[in-house]
Amino acid sequence: MAYELTGKIKLIQDPKTFDSGFTKREMVVIVEDGKYPQEINLEFVQDKTALLDDLQPGQEVTVTFDIRGREYNGRYFNNLQGWKVALQGSNSEEPPPPSAQDYPSPSDFDDDIPF
């Protein structure tokens, strides 16, 4: 099940690659929650770490993530694993629709047909 949160980026850590080849990268997003803002840590793994390459602290983003849980030595741990990031105030995920300038005009075509 996917969840979303919207907030301002506080920090983006450098990618960490482990001996096994596993790579992860973490980002902290500040979410306004009434009187007490929440600092939410999200992790991105493997190829999803590249989603953070062009982001900067201070930007407003919406992050789509899954909740992952596991047990280790009788203790239980949860992670928020991000897989999609969209900048707020921009439509960065979808290209703009084509306009009339994107198509050639009839005068751009050569009327001399070779066959």
Q: Where do the structural domains in the chain lie, given as residue ranges?
A: 3-91
pLDDT at 98 (0 to 100): 59
pLDDT at 53 (0 to 100): 95
Digit-coded pLDDT (tens) for 68-100: 999 999 999 999 999 999 999 754 444 555 555
Q: What percent of the chain has pLDDT over 90?
A: 74
- Strand boundaries in 1-115, DSSP class E: 3-12, 16-17, 23-31, 38-45, 60-72, 75-87
- What is the CB neighbour count within 10 angstroms for residue 52? 21
Q: Confirm if 75 and 98 have CB atoms less than 8 A apart.
A: no
| CATH number of the domain located at residue range(s) 3-91 in this protein | 2.40.50.140
Mean pLDDT of all residues in 7-13: 97
